[in-house]
Structure 1
């Protein structure tokens, strides 16, 4: 985990944090997301290869939640901030749902995910809101 004080006082620390968040994102979206999870999180996907009969009811949102929790865990591990992990859980779920509905493309999906990471870094770097304890473990 990065020392948040390094990020809030040093632009190169903010860049390092952004890079670490992108590494965590790549791990969650590619290395830690197998074929089953990639398909099952989409409520419109054909899951016949996994379930010859009908898949269990509600499987798609459980898979989407599991995938988003992996991402939330990555944000938490990198930043140490539960509030940002929760934000990632919500944002990642909404963005991936929009992609699965065909409302956005893969490229837009990835751009939105990267934008969330940039937002987290900006919030930390700018220490906004000022009263929030960004480093509760210190």
Structure 2
């Protein structure tokens, strides 16, 4: 698969995971202090793992899926902690996708 097609798939999957598969409850409760039904860590890990699974399935590189899970969780946690914008949040997530494509194309 060429780099552009891979990037399109990763970005499309990102938006499905972030906006279609993420429930309102998950979006609210994945932050410390906003967790009413489950500890916030469970919500955050579940959401980040959805992204990791998508990356692993698309790239066929499970290690990139793990990296995506960790970085997605860190970015979302920082977004809640530092209260940065949705635009910056999405830019950081998309930067990760560019890095994954770069790593795959390079090797």
Say yes or no: TM over 0.5. Answer: yes
Alignment of 1:72 with 2:52, yes or no, is yes
Whose helix fraction is larger, Structure 1's or Structure 2's?
Answer: 2
After TM superposition, what 4+ stretches of structure 1 lie above 3 angstroms from structure 2? none
Between structure 1 and structure 2, the one with the greater Rg is: 1
Instruction: Give the counterpart of 1:42 among 23, 31, 34.
Output: 31
Extract unaligned runs of 5+ from structure 1.
1-5, 7-12, 128-138
Alignment of 1:26 with 2:15, yes or no, is yes
Taking structure 1 as the reference length, what is the TM-score of the superposition?
0.73
Matched residues, number: 107
Alignment of 1:119 with 2:102, yes or no, is no
- After superposition, the C-alpha distances for 1:13-71 in whole angstroms (9 at most, x for unaligned) are 100000000011001100000111001101143x5xxx4xxx55xx1011000000000
Q: Is the 1:42–1:60 Cα contact (8 Å) retained in structure 2?
A: yes
State the structure with bigger RCO (CA 8 A, min sep 6), 1 or 2.
Answer: 1
Paired residues for 1:81-92 under 5 Å: 81-92=61-72
In the TM superposition, what is the alpha-carbon distance from 1:103 to its structure 2 partner?
A: 4.5
CA RMSD of the aligned region, Å? 1.3
Partner Cα distance (2:81, 2:89) in 1? 12
Name the structure 2 match of 1:94: 74
Partner Cα distance (1:99, 1:61) in 2? 14
